Structure formats: structure tokens, C-alpha cells
Amino acid sequence: MDQYQLDYLAQLEAESIYILREVAAQFEKPALLFSGGKDSITLVHLARKAFAPGKIPFPLVHIDTGHNFPEALAYRDQLAKDVQATLVVRKVEDTIREKKLTEPKGKFASRNWLQTHTLLDTIEEFGFDACIGGARRDEEKARAKERIFSVRDEFGQWNPKLQRPELWSIYNGRIHKGENVRVFPISNWTELDVWNYIRKEKIELPSIYFAHEREVISFEGQLVAVSDFIRIDEGDVVERKQVRYRTVGDMTCTAAVESAAATLDEVIDEITATRISERGETRIDDRVTEAAMEDRKKNGYF
Amino acid sequence: MDLLRFITAGSVDDGKSTLIGRLLYDSKSILADQLEALEKQTKNKDAGEIDLALLTDGLRAEREQGITIDVAYRYFSTPKRKFIIADAPGHVQYTRNMITGASNASLIIILVDARNGVAEQTRRHSIIASLLKIPHVVVAINKMDLVEYSQDVYNNIVIDYAEVARQLGLEQVTYIPLSALKGDNIVEKSEAIDWYDGPSLLELLENVETKQDTNFSDARFQVQLVIRPQTDELHDYRGYAGRVTSGVYRKGDAVTILPAGITSTISKLEAGGEERDEVFAPQSVTIHLADDIDISRGDTIVHSSNQPAVQNELDVLLCWMDEKPLQPGNKYYLQHNNRLVKAVVRQVDYRLDVNTLQQLPVEGGVKLNEVVKATIKTASPLAFDAYAKLPSNGSGILIDETSNSTVAAVLYQ
């Protein structure tokens, strides 16, 4: 029966496509949350396959912190055009102004936490009942316990103690008015699975994932790109280094990795060999407390 | 490289978290910064080695209380396989979580404390493995270091467990003496257990044969959604998207659409937008039929020569998962993969004691974590197989109409 053997990437793909189709079938108004990072790019690729030859039956939604890498924004616009998807962009900047929110201050003042406000407003504005995200369970301890269909109350809050049992491949997407479901089709993928899939499927990525020269400062061992969004203090040394990004998020809280890896093969070789996790190496915002992610999720974050 | 999903059953006392921690640690799946966080936490506790159990405690409440509440999923891979571990708590009040974790597993590791031998919870975990038809059972006889690596202790446990396996009809059972704390027989073969000539746990996980676990003879496919782009160039395109849950479909196959019983022929098959001559489980595909038929979500497409049962009265086993007890006569939704129908639990025949398999009378409602034999009537017929024959088309969930919660796992008899 060797002919009917699917390799692990094909199995993961089949599962993710199944989940995306469940979302389209069970919900009235789903949306795909697109960050410009490799995980959400992979999601768009999977969605394309799931509904081919038709178009992706939901919009791509970007919650824009205003602190993006320009390369990621250019990539986003081109991708939406290529797949003929509706692109909805809502800016954290506007939420801050309209709701008079207090912006965090400090060296790397991140709007990551404020994103949740804009996200919840956007969900309400469009009446989205399901939001598809690219989170993976291998990323973080709290995510390891979250369901693939994760029901959130009208405040977007995750209640880890009241999760629905998720049995076999049966996804219960029934909700009350006002609630919504966060859906994570690539829950069972690891960082390396995503990279290997990108290579197998020849998915194009924004250039910042590959080695390039950039002005950075070093902060507690992490390299942060010099931009208008961070404060350069007197003691900081601005250096020009060859770097690449392992994750792509807000410029203020995503760190770069020193690297000469210019091709996908070289990047995958480096990631295979690394002894530091994706979030540990590149996310400044998760290092605050042991339960940083758990707390954010309970407040409506992804 | 292929994929193996397995579940570990046992409690903190059996060293389950330590076992998983050890697997991740010794297979080098734990990275430097995760280890650093672990060391930081361990410092506050007893001095000594780092506490591998801490690796698997996810939520704050769990860390504070030192317990596992929910199913957590862990990932690691070796050059041979990618592994997905469902890490589920083992106490009787968490039977629900264990069933959830077990529902997608093709292998179960049952932890036995070498000092205690086959205990009540060993039986319970084995009964769940047999109810859910998990194909492979590994009995990990742990804490061998605390019984001086005694071959006699090991042999006696094997004899005891073989009797449990015989009673439950568990066929593929493997025994491994190990110590998760010391790392004996986890990744490397243990020198202290030189009388054992089988594989280490990781060697076993890497090599267990899984090809027979998928049924390629009884083809089953349910429609998830109908793809109709309705654009100028794809005006007549009408494809049925869904997953092949078992078996193989080929272009030209004579098929029947259930529950309606209409027949047609497969005119085209697609996977990932590309045309294929044949598709097989567990691929997500799109099927086209030669005839224009009214088909919608939840309809089943099967070979006309190999059909499941089509009924609206079903004998089932229910694993109750909700705090609110089941009241016979109550209405629920039954979700059978992609088909959602109204259902009423007509009659509850008996309760199955998950520690002894005894059939007991049901008094009052059916409570959380109880397993019962019942009869369900659905508002429209279901195309299903017995769980024992074909789990992927033999299972469903009950959903509470008012709370929308998933309240039961349903196994068709």
C-alpha cells in the first residue's frame, strides 16, 4: 500500500485545508487575519488551494500597528492583488486617536498590546463571526492548550477553563450572537514545518526574511532595527550588520538575527541548527512575564 | 518522513510529565532559551537537577497547582518521523480530556509505576484505548530505578497486563521497562536494564508500523461545501469539496450519494486545484460528478458497491463531557463530521464502569465523565459505519442546543 502514503507535509496540508473549508461552510462572515509574516502567507497559500479554482471566500484583514516593515506592506498589497482578495486594513493609530488610548512609552514602545482594541473594533464593524489566524501550538505554552476552533466571548476573551472538547476531526463552530471563533488551521505545524512547506510549494516571501544589510542597535543581546519607532539613547551603538528576520511583526518588538543566509535552503539550514526558539530569539514582548501570552489571550489577543 | 500522533496516559505521580520532558529533552527538541526559563523556575523548588515536568505545564493555574487540567499538544521530530503528542491528564475526573486527546491518536503510551504494578487507572486508560480503538498500545513500566531495575518486577507486570489486554482485545501491545527521571530506555538503550533486548521508547515510536492504521478498502467522503465560482470562465464549474476519510476514489467510479440514494459517476477529481486520476485518505479533495444532482454539505459520496448503514435510529456509546447531566428525552444537535442533524437521546440502557467494564444501572441523569450505552433518534437519516469497523465514519459529537457546548462524544455501535 506504499502508493497511498502521504508524507507529513502533505498530511498537515490536508488537515489545514479541511479546517479552512469548515470555516467557509460553518460561518456567515469569516475573515483571514493577515500580518505579512510567513505563517499568514502560508495560510493564504492554503486557502487558495482549499477553494481553487474559486477565489478565497473571505477578506484578508490587516491590523496595522503603523510600525510595519515597508517590505511587508508592499508584499501584502501585491499578494492581495494576486489572489484577488478583498484587503481590509484598520490602523491602530486611528483607534488610539478616536478612543484616546494611552500609548506605551519607553525605548521600544510597542503597540502590540493595543492591537487587540483595533482587532475587536474591526470584528464588530464587519460582524466577523470567525477570524482565521496563523498561530501555531509549538510557539508558546498557552497556545499549546488552545483549540483549533477557539470560542471567544463578546469581549474577545479566551477562557482556558471553558474550552470545548475537540474530538476527531469534528469542529463545533456554533456560537451565540456577539461571540466569535478564532480558528488556527496550522495549529499542528512547527516553525520548521512551515519553512519546509514554503520550500516545497515555492512560496515567495518578503525580502526581509533573507540576509540583508541594516542599521541596528543591540539591546540585551537582541538586534533591533533602527527606525522612527524606537528611541535611540546616548549609550546605544548604531551598527550596520548583515541580518535576516525569523519572524515579521511590529518593528519595535521584532528582533533580527545576524545571518548571511540569502536563500531559502540556507535559512532552513540555519533554523534547523539553531538552539534558540523562534519567540525567544525574536520577540521582545514575550519576555516580560512567564505568562505574557496567556494574559494577552484572555484579553482578546490572538 | 511521516507523521505519528500519540497520547500519553498517566498522572503526574506516574512521571508522565517527566517522560514527555525527557523525550523532548533527549531528542534535543528543547531549545536553549526554553531551558533557561526552566532553570529559572526550578531554582525556586528543591535543589538539584532541572525539573523536566515543568516543561509541559502550560497555564498559570496548572503551574501553581502542579497539575495538568487540559490536553496540551507537543511537537518534536527526528529524521524519521514528525510526532504530535497529546498530553492528557490521567485522573478519573479528566476522562473527558483523555478521550479528547485519544480521539486522534494512533498510539497510546500507558504509564505504569513499577512499584505499584497494574492499577485501577491502568485499567481505565486501557479501557479507553480499547473503546476508541487506538491501534497501538505501549505499556511503559516506569520508575525501574526505584525497584533496582528488577527483571522479576517487570515480568510480573507484563503477566498482569497481558491479562488486561486479553480481556479488552488489545492486540498490538509492546512493553518497555524504563526510567523517565534517569533517562533509561527513553532515547538510548539503558545499561542498567541489560536484560531487556527490545527497543528504547524513541526507537519504538520511530519504527512502529502505521500503514495498516488507515483503511483503504471502504471509501468514505462527506461533502464539506460546494465550490461554485460562478464566474464567466468557470460558469459551469461545480465541485464537491471534502476529505477522503477512508479508502480510494478513482475517476469513473460508480458512486451513490447518501442518504438520498441517488447514483452517478465520478467525472473528475482534484486535489489542491490540480486534476488527479485517483485520490485517497486522508487527502482533502474536490469531486465532480457526471450528473447534475442536488447535493449539499453533509451528504456522503460512496462507491455503489460498498455502502455504509443509513438509519435514523442509532445504538451508540456516549462519553458525557458536560457539567450539566444528560437527561434522556432531551434534544441535541448531532454533528457527524460535516453533517449536523437534530437528535434526541431516547433511552439510556446502562452505564459502563470505566475502571471495570461492568454494566451498571443509570440512576438520575448521566454525569460528566460517564460512559453509557444509549439509543439516539435523528431528525433525518445518517450514513454511518460502526466505530469498531471504521472510526472515521463511526463517530460524532452531541452539541447542546442552548449553550452550543460539545457535550458528548458519540461512538456508533
Contact B2 A11 (CB under 8 A): yes
Nearest residue on chain A to B55, judged by CA atoms? A141
The mean pLDDT of A227-251, rounded to a whole number, is 81
Residue range(s) defining the domain that contains residue B199: 2-212
Q: Is the predicted pLDDT of residue B239 greater than 90, yes or no? A: yes
Interchain contact, B243 vs A14, CB within 8 Å: yes
% of chain B exceeding 70 in pLDDT: 90
Q: What is the mean pLDDT of chain B?
A: 89
Q: Kindly report which listed range (A280-289, B6-15, B206-215, B316-325) carries the lowest average pLDDT score.
A: A280-289
Domain count across chain B: 3
pLDDT at A8: 93
Are both A50 and A159 inside the same structural domain?
A: yes
Q: Are residues B242 and B94 in the same domain?
A: no
Residues B284 and B181 placed together within one structural domain of the fold: no
A302 — pLDDT class (breaks 50, 70, 90): low
CATH number, domain with residue A77:
3.40.50.620
Task: Average the pLDDT over each of A125-139, A203-217, B91-105 and give the range with the smallest value.
Answer: B91-105
Chain B residues inside the 8 Å CB shell of A15? 282, 284
Query: In terms of domains, do A127 and A17 share one?
Result: yes
Residue A287 pLDDT > 50, yes or no? no
- Residue A145's pLDDT band (boundaries 50, 70, 90)? confident
DSSP A254: B
Q: How far is A108 from chain B (nearest CA, A)?
A: 21
Average pLDDT, chain A: 86
Provide the pLDDT for residue B121. 87
B281 contacts in chain A (CB < 8 Å) = 4
Residue from B219, B217, B142 nearest B183 by CA: B142
Q: Indicate if A218 and A188 belong to the same structural domain.
A: no
Same domain, yes or no: B241 and B298: yes
Predicted local distance difference test score (pLDDT) of residue B66:
57
Q: State pLDDT tens for residues B117-129.
A: 998 889 989 999 9
- Indicate if B56 and B133 belong to the same structural domain: yes
Q: Name the residue in chain A with its Cα closest to that of B82.
A: A8
Domain identity same for A124 and A261: no
Please give the pLDDT value at position B106. 94
Residue A41 belongs to a domain: yes
Domain termination site, one of B212, B230, B257: B212
The pLDDT, as a whole number, for residue B69 is: 65
Strands B395-400 and B406-412, sheet pairing:
antiparallel
Are residues B188 and B88 part of one domain? yes
Confidence band (pLDDT; 50, 70, 90) for A155?
A: confident
Lowest mean pLDDT among A65-79, A196-210, B58-72, B369-383: B58-72
Contact A167 B81 (CB under 8 A): no
pLDDT for A288 equals: 45
Look at residue A1 in the predicted model and tell me its pLDDT. Answer: 46
Same domain, A71 and A120: yes
Residue A153 has phi, psi (to 5 degrees) of: -75, -175
Instruction: Supply the CATH number for residue B249's domain.
Output: 2.40.30.10
Question: Which range, of A158-167, B7-16, B92-101, B240-249, averages the lowest pLDDT?
Answer: B7-16
In a domain, residue A168? The reply is: yes
The region of weakest confidence among A132-136, B19-23, B90-94 is: B90-94
Query: Is pLDDT above 70 for A213?
Result: yes
Which CATH number characterizes residue B103's domain? 3.40.50.300
Distance from CA of B156 to the nearest CA of A (A): 36
Chain B residues touching residue A25 (CB < 8 angstroms): 224-225, 297, 338
B350: left (phi over 0), alpha (psi -120 to 50) or beta: beta
**Same domain for A174 and A256:** no
With cell 498522572, the residue in question is B11
Q: What is the pLDDT of residues B263-299, one digit of tens each?
A: 999 999 999 889 999 999 999 999 999 999 999 999 9
**Mean pLDDT, to the nearest integer, of B323-337?**
92
Please tell me the predicted confidence (pLDDT) of residue B117: 93
Residues A234 and A270 in one domain: yes
Q: Which residue of B5, B33, B212, B412 to mutate against A (max A Cβ within 10 Å)?
A: B33
**Residue B273 and residue A190: Cβ atoms within 8 Å?**
no
Three-state SS for chain B is CEEEEEEEECCHHHCHHHHHHHHHHHCCCCCHHHHHHHHHHHHCCCCCCCCHHHHHCCCHHHHHHCCCCCCEEEEEECCCEEEEEEECCCCHHHHHHHHHHHCCCCEEEEEEECCCCCCHHHHHHHHHHHHCCCCEEEEEEECHHHHCCCHHHHHHHHHHHHHHHHHHCCCEEEEEECECCCCECCCCCCCCCCCCCCCCHHHHHHHCCCHHHCCCCCCEEEEEEEECCCCCCCCCCCEEEEEEEECEEECCCEEEEECCCEEEEEEEEEECCEEECEEECCCEEEEEECCCCCCCCCCEEEECCCCCEEEEEEEEEEEECCCCCECCCCEEEEEECCEEEEEEEEEEEEEECCCCCCEECCCCCECCCCEEEEEEEEEEEEEECCCCCCHHHCEEEEEECCCCCEEEEEEEC
Candidate from B31, B336, B395 with C-beta closest to A277 = B31
How many structural domains does chain A have? 2
pLDDT digits 0-9 by tens, A6-27: 999 999 999 999 999 999 999 9
Do both B123 and B32 map to the same domain?
Answer: yes
CB contact under 8 A, A170 and B337: yes
> Given an 8 Å threshold on Cβ–Cβ distance, is B216 in contact with A4?
yes
Total CB pairs under 8 A between chain A and B: 174
Contact (CB, 8 A) for A251 and A68:
yes
Q: Is the pLDDT of residue B180 over 80?
A: yes
Question: Are A136 and A65 part of one and the same domain?
Answer: yes
Q: Is residue A200 part of a domain?
A: no
A22 with A120, same domain: the answer is: yes
Q: What's the ipTM?
A: 0.93
Same domain for B51 and B100, yes or no, is yes
The helix/strand count (H/E) of chain A reads as 9, 10
Res. B333: pLDDT tops 90:
yes
Determine, for residues A1 and B216 on separate chains, whether the beta-carbon distance falls below 8 Å. yes
Query: How confident is the model at residue A101, as a pLDDT?
Result: 76
Residue (of B159, B163, B84, B100) closest to B126 by Cα position: B163
Same domain, A189 and A235: no
Instruction: Kindly state whether residues B123 and B104 are assigned to the same domain.
Output: yes
Q: Which of B272-281, B359-368, B384-393 has the lowest mean pLDDT?
A: B359-368
Q: Which residue has the higher pLDDT, B29 or B196?
A: B196
pLDDT at position B47 is 42
Average pLDDT on B178-197 reads 92
Residue B48: is its pLDDT beyond 50? Answer: no
| Confidence band, pLDDT 50/70/90 cuts, at residue A252 | confident
pLDDT band at B70 (very low <50, low <70, confident <90, very high): confident
Mean pLDDT of A224-250: 81
- Domain with A209, as residue range(s), is 205-287
Q: What is the mean pLDDT of residues A113-139?
A: 90
Whether pLDDT at A227 is above 50: yes
Residue with cell 527538541: B29
Query: Is A181 found in the same domain as A115?
Result: yes
| Domain boundary pick from B212, B244, B273 | B212
Residue ending a domain, among B281, B303, B325, is B303
Same domain, A118 and A220: no
| Confidence check: pLDDT of B329 > 90 | no
Nearest to B335 among A6, A144, A172 (CB): A172
Q: Say if residue B231's pLDDT is above 70.
A: yes
User: In this complex, do B2 and A7 lie within 8 Å of one another by their Cβ atoms?
Assistant: yes
